[in-house]
Amino acid sequence: MYKANEQFTEMNRAGYANAVKLASLSLEKAERLAKLNLQAAKSALEQGVQAANTVAAIKNPQEFVAARARLTEAGVQSALGYSRGVYQIASETQADVSALAEEAWAAYTKGVAAWVERATKDAPAGSDVAVTALKSSMAATTAAFDQFSKATKQAVNFADASVRAATANAENFAKATTKGRKAA
């Protein structure tokens, strides 16, 4: 006789393992973000000291204009670098969590499908309609998840392309603005 409890126990173990993986992944990414923030704070402090030294050494208006352009460019480059770092961590996190979710869903559907198959073998006579409905429900749920997964990937790819284009435009604008100031 088939024991459904064993099957459910195994599915619970897999769920627990996935929860541990997700917690570990979250901590890893939070640690990377904290390091990035600390590095950005150190960089901002260093830039502030350099800016103060530069401003203190200014002797005429032309030097002031040139220093302002250099400091502005350095600030924009620093902000863009920080934004890229945050975006990279967020993007990697999204990809890792999506992969974990897909892996967990695949294992879950496989386990449920195995349970359904074993349960149908032990089903009493005349329960064909219920078994067919259960299998149909599983197939529909799996198809819905696949469609949702595809739509999510398309949205993420679109957002990624948009962010990359916006970053490139911001960099080009910053370079053009700096070149325009240097020429003036």
* Whether the Cβ atoms of residue 77 and residue 178 lie closer than 8 Å to each other: no
- Which pLDDT belongs to residue 92? 92
Q: Find the distance separating the first CA and the last CA of the chain, reported in whole Å.
A: 87
Per-residue pLDDT tens, the chain, 184 aa: give them.
456 677 778 878 888 999 999 999 999 999 999 999 999 999 999 999 999 999 999 999 899 998 998 998 899 889 989 999 999 999 899 889 989 988 888 888 888 778 777 777 777 777 778 778 877 887 888 888 788 878 877 887 887 788 778 777 777 776 776 666 555 5
Quote the pLDDT of residue 1: 45
Q: What is the pLDDT of residue 181?
A: 56
